[in-house]
Amino acid sequence: MSNPPLIFIDGDQGTTGLLIQERLRDRNDLRLLSLPAAERKDPLRRAEALNSADIAVLCLPDPAAREAVSWIENPKVRVIDASSAHRTSAGWVYGFPELAPGQAEAIASAQRVTNPGCYPTGAIALLRPLVQAGLVPADYPLAIQAVSGYSGGGRAQVEQYEGAEASSAAPFVVYGLGLHHKHPPEMQLHAGLTQRPLFVPSYGAFRQGIVLTIALQTRLLPSQASLEGLRAALQAHYAGSRHISVLDAAQSAATDRLDPTRHNGSNDMTLGVFGNAEHGHVLLCAVFDNLGKGASGAAVQNLELMLSQF
């Protein structure tokens, strides 16, 4: 019997890399290649590991991820990039299996897969089906707001909230006020928008989890874009999905608050459509784990699809 596929995680000591290792640790259908601590930053040893792997998972800053890809000379090596370096790049398959019919199959056979960003995962999950169905105009003036756990800021931010100075860490922070965050181009491209959305990110004093919301005005939507119509379009798109569920009318009516930690530790995501018909207001919502469906869980979901080809 041939050996199971060899997986190398470049950047395996970062937040995402460690969680991917944890999710893969007890599996016997693959082998994990790890470098000794003294060799993790050695370009030659990393290049050797990258070129010896069947699948390389990059958990690196964007410049380092681009550099790592440039080191791969073995044409058989397949890549999952968890950074934002290639999310709008030609030649890379977007690693959101639920994006569209055939997307999971495209990921399974791809040489290069780019993992979605945490915030774009929620925004695209809500918007792509509605834009495609003609219920949200592609040029709608969108404002997307999201709050994440502090782990979304990486190891430095985790240490700020969990280290010796934790008592002085802010309870809530809105950031990116220059409105030049790296996520809007990804949201625009993969949601099928013709205009860049306005994106307002924030984080709170909790470790992980995301609530993302998008407010809509029914006067700016097609007449068929009722609460029921919007909800039905999302339900139809995600029917049979393993990881994404949509609140039905009764569940929505019974929901008056959203807990960002609801799906922590899982790869699941819940979508909701709320509104007030009298005022013509609609609120699209997504709840998921920024370290799960927003990072390591998504990477492992993509890895499982790619492993099906071995």
Long-range contacts of 155-158 (CB under 8 A, 24+ apart): 155/14, 155/15, 157/203, 158/15, 158/207
The residue whose two tokens read 């970062």 is 14
Is-catalytic flag, 118?
A: yes
CA angle 209, 241, 120 (to 5 degrees): 40
Choosing from 59, 68, 118, 214, the catalytic residue is 118
CA distance 35 to 9: 9
**Active centre residues (catalytic):** 118
